Amino acid sequence: MPLFNVYPLYDVTPVKAKGVYVYDENKTKYLDLYGGHAVISIGHGHPKYVEAITNQVVELGFYSNAIQNPLQVELADKLEVLSGCKNYELFLCNSGAEANENALKLASFKTRKSRIIAFKNGFHGRTSAAVAATDNKNIIAPINAQQKVTTLDLNDIENVKTELEKGDVCAVILEFIQGVGGLDQATSDFFEQVDLLCKQNNTLLIADEVQSGYGRSGKFFAFQHYNVTPDIISIAKGMGNGFPIGGILIHPNIKAKFGMLGTTFGGNHLACAAGLSVLNVIEEQRLMENVKEISSYFIKIAKTIPMIKNIKGKGLMLGLEFDFEVGDLRKQLIYDYQIFTGGAMNKNLLRILPPLTVKKDHINQFFDALIDLLDKKQEHNK
């Protein structure tokens, strides 16, 4: 049976990974500065991660949410401490799309309203309401388009105010650093005014931290760079270092009812073991401090390269913008220099999303390759 052909694939077949490196079937070593869409947070095959999953699967890999699961409580408590999100409650699921789906559903339950405000170049997932709130018509099927979504420009606070005052908006969903869209950010004033307007108009603010969470921005969550208090925070990618897990943090102004949300696999024993190991490593290895140090080092070097027109993002959620499309550059980095990087909806942007364990030597390796490539490009264009 052939695979359903929906992914354009690079001709690389990883079979092993360790730290910030992956190895293909020919034992070729690749520097991973993309982390599989920002999923690999504490490095491939981290020994504490492997140990946690191994020990847990020997004891109990899965049972349903109909029984007590102390690992969920332990994960929630650890997350509260490290994130600083005091008094929020945790609902666990399996992915970022599912997290945002539950966030939007919860907002509609709470407000009894159904329209969503989202923003241009935003990406929130590929399921029903989450994909409708995503600014990409190519992945929105007619069944998704039935959702009531208004897509606005970042920083257009007057239109946000106008739409919220119509009284039918259940949620404003936004990324404080856009991921797939290309690392765009609004101003501090915009974010803070949106938060205030939501509170004035019985609308919930959803912080989509699926990609930017878990220390990637230099703070545990990207919204913490601003003076805002989201009603719901969605999390996934770096949460399990590759094991499928997602969730939402829910403000205490939203009260739970039996049956309101549910999941078969969400919060299973193996997922919780993976999630706990990630939080423990982030804390023990002081990875958020490493994010800040390496980010500053990366940006300092990037600023010396004239062909880089713009440096976008925060922490280790970074983008390098050029005045040409970077598709060929990414291919050359993979095939000629054995370095994985990412692309975006902005075709001129190279995305950098390495494991939070990345070191200066790895950054040097990347820039040596990039400068060599850009020099060759300039020579070719003469």
CB 278 within 8 A of CB 128: no
pLDDT of 253 over the 80 cut: yes
Average pLDDT over residues 94-113: 97
pLDDT of 275 over the 90 cut: yes
Residue range 105-155, pLDDT digits in tens = 999 999 999 999 999 999 999 999 999 999 999 999 999 999 999 999 999
Residues 269 and 271: their CA atoms lie apart, in Å, by: 6
In the prediction, which pLDDT does 376 show? 87
Q: Is the pTM for the entire model greater than 0.85? A: yes
In the prediction, which pLDDT does 381 show? 74
Where does the pLDDT of residue 86 fall: very low under 50, low under 70, confident under 90, or very high at 90 and above?
very high
CA angle, 148 then 347 then 308, to 5°: 130
In the prediction, which pLDDT does 35 show? 95
Rg (CA), the chain: 21
Length in residues, the chain: 382
In the prediction, which pLDDT does 379 show? 77
Residues 92 and 297: their CA atoms lie apart, in Å, by: 35
Where does the pLDDT of residue 263 fall: very low under 50, low under 70, confident under 90, or very high at 90 and above?
very high
In the prediction, which pLDDT does 126 show? 93
Query: What 8-state DSSP symbol labels residue 239?
Result: G
Residue range 193-217, pLDDT digits in tens = 999 999 999 999 999 999 999 999 9
Structure tokens at 288: 């958020």
Average pLDDT over residues 72-93: 97
For 122-161, the DSSP string reads ----SSHHHHHTSS-GGG--HHHHTS-EEEE-TT-HHHHH
Residue range 15-63, pLDDT digits in tens = 999 999 999 999 999 999 999 999 999 999 999 999 999 999 999 999 9
Residues 6 and 161: their CA atoms lie apart, in Å, by: 39
Structure tokens at 262: 């549910």
* Backbone angles phi and psi of 239, in degrees to 5: -65, -30
Residue range 327-358, pLDDT digits in tens = 999 999 999 999 999 999 999 999 999 999 99
For 210-231, the DSSP string reads TTTTTTTTSSSSGGGGSS---S
Average pLDDT over residues 311-323: 97
pLDDT above 90 covers a percentage of the chain that reads: 98
Q: What is the mean pLDDT of the chain?
A: 96
pLDDT of 380 over the 80 cut: no
pLDDT above 70 covers a percentage of the chain that reads: 100
Residue range 58-81, pLDDT digits in tens = 999 999 999 999 999 999 999 999
3-state secondary structure of 351: strand
Give the end-to-end CA distance of the chain in Å, rounded to a whole number.
49
